[in-house]
Amino acid sequence: MGTKTVATNQSLYEKDFYAWANEQAAILREGRFEDADVENIAEEIESMGRGEKRELINRLAVLLSHLLKWQHQAGYQSRSWQLTINEQRRKVARHLEDNPSLKHLLPEILIEAYGDATIQAARETGFSELMFPDTCPWSFDQIMTPDWLPNDRR
């Protein structure tokens, strides 16, 4: 790749990402690999992978926060709340189906998601974060079991 192409790619990448992405896609489709902005393409692909991991953490955090609220706010339990939990389970499962290589990261992802979940649950309940266990009290399999709810009183 020539010096002019490198400078052009870099400035377009910094100034107009959308135009850069479309240009790079066209370059790759045309087989002009020597003109491709390989460094930035590689960075964007890595970023997409990190985004998939973040999405799984976010989905699990929502699910866990609802399970924590279910456990600690028995008076607010409702069918609607249960359906939200079921919906989040489906979204987590679907995300893992689309990204099966994330499964081996579940132990660390669960730790990160649980930390976020306790903050979300505390914010939404008005409880102190200290009210919730320091570590997730449930296994991933338990969390994902259809119709399982902590301290189910139904």
Q: What is the pLDDT of residues 94-135, one digit of tens each?
A: 999 999 999 999 999 999 999 999 999 999 999 999 999 999
For the entire predicted model, the pTM comes to 0.81
Q: Which residue has the tokens 């992978």?
A: 49
The helix-helix angle for 17-29 and 3-15 (nearest 10°) equals 140
Tally DSSP H helices, then E strands, for the chain. Answer: 6, 0
Domains of the chain, residue spans = 1-36, 49-144
pLDDT at 98: 96
Cα 85 from Cα 63, distance rounded (Å): 6
Confidence grade of residue 13 (pLDDT, cut at 50, 70, 90): confident
Q: Find the Cα–Cα–Cα–Cα dihedral 131, 58, 92, 124, rounded to 10°.
A: 40
What count of residues does the chain have? 154
